[in-house]
Amino acid sequence: MSYPVAVGSIADVHPILTNNPRILNHAALNGVFSSKNAADALDNQALLDADQTVKSLESAHSERFHFDIPFKYLDMKLAALMPDLISNDVVQSSKTRLHAMRGAHAAHDFQEVATLAQLLTLIQDNHNTVIGRMDHLDDRLNGIDERLNGIDERLNGIDGRLNRINNRLEEHAAYVKNTRIINKNRSQPTIPPTPLVKIIGGDGHTLAQAICSQQALTPAIQQYQPRGTIGSCPPNFNPNIDSYSHLDILKLVVFYNDAFGIVQADPVHERKTKIRNSFAEYMV
């Protein structure tokens, strides 16, 4: 078995060490010049030497500053070489080189080294597997999305039904309230009437326009926007119906969304009578 790639020397990375007499004069540091070419046979002694070189460089780098290197690896003769020559970068490079050599030896001793073609096949297989799983997940997410859309549609349907039920309840409550108001107005004919509450949703601009006999009032009708809700009374209601103008009557029609039986040919006094009767007799 051989080295799969070239393992350069430490001096290749740090040219300052190349042919440096301060290095050459210390056999313990000559390992900085060692290298291996791709396809060179694996060399156990070279691996041991690389390990020893790391320890020697650590010794040379560390003596002046701290003594955390085991005593058996210290060489007091190396102290003069550092820190200007044997820097921390040099020490780290030696460790990286040792790691590379150990990797090559470990690959031979404990695992089969795959060829490039095998590695590419493995990568492609893994890629296909991942893509397949992602496609499967995408299909499942699409299914979940469809189910959620179905649930959303059902919830919208339920929401619509609840709104209709709520509207009917509001209308029913308005009917009940109007029954009481009508009975009160009927039993007290000499007292100004209490207005009925609104029981028909929306505004009656179309109804008011249809019975309007004075075209000059059209802008005023369109500008009137009471936006009454079911169960509410007209804003600023005037109980003195006899004082109503043609426009006042049309505003009531807009608010209640109810023409009170009024037709376009009705004069104002007839319109007032129909409104007064509606407040005392009108039931839908």
Give pLDDT tens digits for 144-167: 999 999 999 999 999 889 988 988
Average pLDDT over residues 125-147: 87
Would you state the pLDDT for residue 265? 93
* CA–CA distance, 121 with 146 (Å, rounded to integer): 37
Average pLDDT over residues 80-84: 57
Would you state the pLDDT for residue 65? 43
What is the rounded average pLDDT for all residues in the chain?
83
pLDDT at 88 over 70: yes
pTM score of the predicted model:
0.45
Would you state the pLDDT for residue 276? 87
Would you state the pLDDT for residue 119? 65
Would you state the pLDDT for residue 69? 44
The answer to whether the peptide bond before residue 15 is cis (omega within 30 degrees of 0) is no
Would you state the pLDDT for residue 113? 46
Lowest mean pLDDT among 106-115, 149-158, 196-205: 106-115
Confidence of residue 75 (pLDDT cuts 50, 70, 90): low
Express each pLDDT in 19-55 by its tens digit: 888 788 777 778 888 888 888 888 889 889 989 988 8
Confidence of residue 77 (pLDDT cuts 50, 70, 90): low
* CA–CA distance, 181 with 187 (Å, rounded to integer): 10
Average pLDDT over residues 165-174: 88
Of residues 192 and 117, the one with the higher pLDDT is 192
Burial class (CB in 10 A: 0-12, 13-18, 19+), 51: middle
pLDDT at 137 over 70: yes
* CA–CA distance, 176 with 179 (Å, rounded to integer): 5
pLDDT at 110 over 80: no
Confidence of residue 16 (pLDDT cuts 50, 70, 90): confident
Q: Which of 72, 5, 13 is nearest to 40 (CA)?
A: 5
pLDDT at 133 over 70: yes
Would you state the pLDDT for residue 68? 46
Local structure of 78: helix, strand or coil:
helix
Of residues 240 and 30, the one with the higher pLDDT is 240
